[in-house]
């Protein structure tokens, strides 16, 4: 007995001899109580190795108490751990000699905690002793300990997965850690651990009313950075947590993100509150989903009709005009009000020599964009106070040449946007025109006025269907494009049958075929519909070599790409087929498909592969780099960080790229910052708008309009005015400047083109499709926008939405309440309840929201039925609200 104990003592004192000198020095620095603590602990270490089990137990218990009381705060290494460091090896060696009993487990617990500061990198000793120790509560050792364990578990898990060893014991520990984290407001850490051990389902049992919001916020935010298919799994979990906690509006947003209509139905059937269902309908309408309610979802027939009306967007025009009256911008504006020529020096006014049909065409577009949705303007509808009100619209129409009349007639549809009844009434007279171009414009106008509005009696289909098969290509294109815009994202079978027949028509010219492909792409956007894909592929294969060289032939590829918008892997089969196409179009098609399929996913690998294609220096005849550059913007626009990185990459392309690439870069920048005039991008575009290559300059000018779309941004307006005097002799560039001026003042500053909504979480597929189509058309300015197909600019209507917050009461009547509007702040994973907006101003609704703005109610009197205040939000009275006297 005796020698063994001496032995033990000796091992204990051995290391201290060498470090005597150091220790003396240290001991002088220590305060008295620290010194006492140090000696106390050293005594415990000796006692632990005592022969008497009773003494051992007391010593272990005391040591445990000391450590526990010290680890509660973790700002620096706690004293007991510091003083026990020299003895870690001793205790470890002694642990090896013990038989299995309670004492051994108690010692393992203590070693596990000591390993926090002592263990060598990658040894995972803390975890090793934890698994050997007692089944106690781990939380009592402090947060830092639990966090460290979680890290070691993740490493151990990966190792065991590779060796295919059992992970039972690890999972028990994970259960404990997750429960601890969830109790102590460390939801992100719990989620991280479960992602590492691939078992997110565990979350659901630990989520409750208090922590589900933060948990789901972290899940949805991290999904953007995960590789497929993990991102979908994470969002599935978020959806089920929201459903469990009855946070239906958020569940609906996740369901829409996953594009899962079953989930949407589930939400409608699970939720019993009619008011909340109305709010869901507003969210669906904003996203542009075709959705039919049935008895299970809404029992009462009248209610169902009302809700279906909201989904069909029939209330949009009314809400928009309410906003316009409130902001007091109802008065019609003329193009001259936008150009503000009087602010320029003398030479701009001398620009009257420029071809005036082109000037009038520009004025047509400016007028259409600026007065979009207001129902009145100075050129087309004329003011009713004029005695000759009937003829005024006719007069302007005939100030345009041939195909110019098409855009002029269609601009009526834009001015009466979303107001189907009066729109069709005013367009009706143009159907009886003797001029085919006017009829074509009226057909397109019908499509524009119905954009995003669904209607049971399908007026657009009834009016346009017969014109699709007419002789005249202009009329056919008007009708085809009208159908594409009116029925975007509806997957309407009648239209599929009607339009796919055109591909087989030997008389159909290339432009008719190209617009047919685009319209089919819009109607079936993101649906991966095989029949449509098949039809477009055959149409592509049928084209002659000379056709494929035409700029319009490339729109066939885009039509195909739109079918797979944002659908990632689903595109692969079609991409294989595209490799068999004629080499003139093969690569172009490949890039277009890739960029569409990964649009809005933020997939870094795809951005890299697209950048790789842009790095090659090729000759002029290769066109596939244009879509590749746009593709970078389409993929990277998913989140803020990606946008910043893409802007920097595009800067490099400008410096090193060939002309083909430089022409597409301004358009890509325009898409990345759509309706969001960032100063650095504005400066880049301003520089490029004076570029020696006219195509680059024109693309930059149009993009200035796109980044300022609907913002009335004063700096952009001034830039464009200066450009209009700089280019006063160049008709083409001046036309682009005018278009950009129209865009910048779109809807008198009440509209946005941003396809993202709901706090930048959801991407509206039809809006993105409209933008991408317009940008692809701009890749060859001279042939399309400046040629006779300028009406492709009307595809932008698919992305036009009021940038408003309109609060309504339970009867859907506008209700004015104070709200705070400010820059949104990212609060994911932050402790406590941080402020969600910064630098706010208080306004009363309806209010305008700029890019990156967020609103919150400034009153307790009402409770919003949607967590995100955007678009239409229903408020219900707060029953607990008491007026303060």
pLDDT at 350: 47
Rounded to the nearest 10 degrees, the angle between the axes of helix 640-656 and helix 679-688 is: 20
- Name the pLDDT band for 556 (thresholds 50, 70, 90): very high
Where residue 353 falls among pLDDT bands split at 50, 70, 90?
A: very low
Residue 308 per-residue DSSP state: H
Rg value, the chain, Cα: 34
Nearest in space to 592 (alpha carbons), one of 551, 565, 557 = 557
**Which of the four pLDDT bands, split at 50, 70 and 90, describes residue 73?**
low
> How many CB atoms are located within 10 Å of the residue 878 CB?
13
Strands of the 847-848 sheet, one edge to the other: 847-848, 804-808, 871-877, 862-864
The candidate with the shortest Cα–Cα distance to 726, out of 344, 343, 337, is: 344
- What's the distance, CA 168 to chain centroid? 39
Least confident of 95-109, 602-616, 863-877: 95-109
Question: Nearest 5°: phi and psi at 340?
Answer: 50, 50
**What pLDDT is attached to residue 751?**
95
pLDDT band at 355 (very low <50, low <70, confident <90, very high): low
Q: Give the three-class secondary structure for 608.
A: helix
Question: Which pTM value belongs to this model?
Answer: 0.88
The per-residue pLDDT for range 652-691, each reduced to its tens digit, is: 999 888 888 999 999 999 999 999 999 999 999 999 999 9
Provide DSSP, 453-515.
---TT-HHHHHHGGGGG-S-HHHHHHHHHHHHHHTTTS--HHHHHHHHHHHT-TT--HHHHHH
- pLDDT band, very low/low/confident/very high, at 19 (cuts 50, 70, 90): very low
Q: What is the mean predicted confidence (pLDDT) over 446-468?
A: 89
For 503-537, what is each residue's pLDDT tens digit? 988 888 999 999 999 999 999 999 999 999 999 99
Return the pLDDT at 76. Answer: 66
Q: Which residues contact 485 (CB under 8 A, 6 or more apart)?
A: 444, 447, 448, 450, 451, 519, 522, 770, 794, 795, 797, 798
Burial of 767 (C-beta count, 10 Å sphere; 0-12/13-18/19+): buried
In this structure, the dihedral spanned by the alpha carbons of residues 106, 108, 113 and 116, taken in order and rounded to 10 degrees, is 180
pLDDT score of 650 more than 50: yes
**pLDDT recorded at residue 885:** 60
Establish how many alpha carbons lie within 13 A of residue 749's alpha carbon, considering only the half-sphere containing its beta carbon.
Answer: 16
The mean pLDDT of 562-582, rounded to a whole number, is 90
Tens digits of residue pLDDT in 801-849? 999 999 999 999 999 999 999 999 888 888 778 888 898 899 998 999 9
């Amino acid at each position: 007995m005796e020698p063994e104990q001496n032995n033990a003592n000796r091992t204990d004192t051995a290391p201290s001899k060498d470090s005597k000198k150091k220790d003396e020095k240290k001991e002088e620095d220590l305060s008295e109580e620290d010194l006492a603590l140090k000696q106390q602990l050293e005594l415990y270490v000796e006692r632990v190795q005592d022969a008497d089990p009773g003494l051992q137990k007391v010593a272990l218990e005391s040591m445990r108490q000391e450590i526990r009381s010290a680890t509660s705060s973790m700002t620096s290494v706690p004293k007991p751990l510091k003083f026990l460091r020299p003895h870690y090896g001793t205790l470890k060696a002694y642990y090896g000699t013990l038989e299995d009993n309670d004492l051994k487990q108690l010692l393992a617990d203590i070693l596990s905690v000591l390993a926090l500061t002592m263990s060598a990198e990658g040894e995972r000793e803390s975890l090793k002793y934890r698994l050997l120790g007692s089944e106690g509560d781990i939380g009592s050792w402090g947060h830092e300990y639990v966090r460290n364990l979680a890290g070691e578990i993740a490493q151990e898990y990966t190792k065991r997965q590779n060796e295919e060893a059992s992970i039972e014991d690890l999972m028990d520990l994970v259960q404990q850690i997750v429960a601890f984290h969830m109790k102590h407001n460390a939801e992100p850490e719990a989620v991280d651990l479960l992602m590492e051990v691939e078992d997110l389902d565990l979350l659901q049992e630990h989520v409750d009313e208090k922590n589900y919001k933060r948990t789901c916020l972290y899940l949805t935010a991290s999904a953007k950075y995960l590789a497929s298919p993990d991102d979908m799994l994470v969002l599935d979990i978020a959806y089920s947590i929201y459903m469990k906690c009855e946070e239906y509006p958020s569940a609906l947003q996740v369901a829409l993100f996953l594009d899962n209509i079953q989930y949407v139905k589930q939400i409608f059937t699970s939720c019993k509150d009619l008011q909340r269902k109305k709010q869901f309908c507003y969210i669906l309408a904003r996203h542009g989903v075709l959705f039919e309610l049935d008895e299970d979802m809404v029992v009462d027939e009248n209610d169902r009709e009302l809700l279906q009306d909201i989904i069909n967007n029939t209330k949009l025009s009314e809400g928009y005009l309410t906003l316009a009256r409130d902001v007091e911008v109802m008065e019609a504006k003329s193009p001259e009000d936008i150009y503000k020529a009087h602010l320029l020096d003398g030479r701009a006014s001398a620009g009257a020599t420029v071809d005036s049909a082109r000037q009038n065409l520009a004025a047509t577009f400016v007028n259409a964009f600026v007065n979009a949705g207001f129902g009145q303007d100075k050129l087309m509808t004329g003011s009713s106070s004029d005695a000759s009100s009937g003829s005024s619209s006719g007069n302007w129409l005939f100030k345009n040449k041939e195909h110019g009349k098409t855009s002029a007639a269609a601009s009526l549809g834009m001015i009466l946007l979303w107001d189907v009844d009066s729109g069709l009434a005013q367009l009706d007279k143009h159907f009886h025109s003797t001029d085919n171009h006017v009829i074509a414009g009226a057909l397109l106008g019908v499509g524009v006025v119905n954009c995003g509005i669904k209607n049971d009696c399908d007026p657009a289909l009834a009016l346009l269907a017969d014109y699709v098969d007419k002789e005249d290509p202009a009329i056919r294109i008007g009708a085809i494009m009208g159908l594409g815009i009116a029925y975007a994202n509806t997957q309407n079978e009648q239209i599929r049958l009607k339009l796919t027949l055109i591909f087989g028509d030997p008389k159909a010219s290339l432009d008719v075929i190209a617009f047919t492909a685009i319209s089919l792409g819009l109607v079936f956007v993101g649906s991966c519909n095989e029949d449509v894909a098949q039809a477009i592929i055959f149409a592509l294969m049928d084209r002659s070599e000379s056709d494929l060289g035409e700029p319009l032939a490339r729109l066939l590829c885009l039509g195909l790409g739109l079918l797979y918008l944002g659908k990632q892997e689903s595109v692969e089969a079609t991409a294989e087929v595209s490799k068999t196409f004629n080499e003139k179009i093969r690569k172009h098609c490949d890039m277009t498909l890739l960029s569409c399929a990964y649009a809005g996913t933020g997939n870094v690998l795809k951005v890299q592969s697209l950048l790789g294609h842009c790095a090659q220096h090729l000759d002029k005849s290769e066109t596939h780099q244009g879509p590749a550059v746009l593709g970078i913007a389409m993929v990277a626009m998913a989140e803020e960080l990606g946008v910043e990185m893409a802007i920097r990459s595009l800067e490099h392309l400008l410096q090193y790229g060939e002309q083909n690439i430089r022409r597409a870069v301004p358009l890509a920048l325009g898409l990345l910052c759509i309706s969001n005039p960032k100063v650095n991008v504005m400066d880049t575009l301003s520089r490029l708008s004076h570029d020696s290559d006219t195509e680059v300059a024109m693309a930059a000018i149009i993009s200035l309009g796109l980044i300022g779309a609907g913002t009335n941004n004063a700096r952009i307006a001034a830039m464009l005015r200066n450009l209009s005097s700089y280019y006063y002799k160049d008709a083409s560039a001046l036309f682009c400047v005018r278009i950009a001026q129209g865009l910048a003042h779109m809807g008198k500053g009440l509209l946005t083109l941003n396809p993202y909504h709901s706090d930048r979480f959801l991407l509206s597929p039809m809006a993105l499709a409209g933008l991408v189509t317009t940008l692809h058309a701009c890749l060859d300015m001279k042939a399309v926008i400046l040629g006779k197909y300028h009406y492709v600019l009307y595809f932008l209507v698919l992305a036009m939405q009021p940038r408003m917050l309109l609060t309504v009461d339970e009867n859907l009547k506008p209700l004015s309440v104070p709200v705070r509007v400010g820059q949104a702040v990212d609060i994911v994973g932050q402790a406590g309840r941080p402020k969600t907006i910064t630098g706010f101003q208080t306004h009363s609704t309806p209010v305008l929201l700029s890019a990156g703005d967020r609103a919150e109610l400034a009153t307790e009197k009402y409770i919003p039925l949607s967590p995100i205040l955007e678009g239409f939000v229903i408020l219900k009275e707060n029953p607990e609200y008491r007026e303060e006297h």
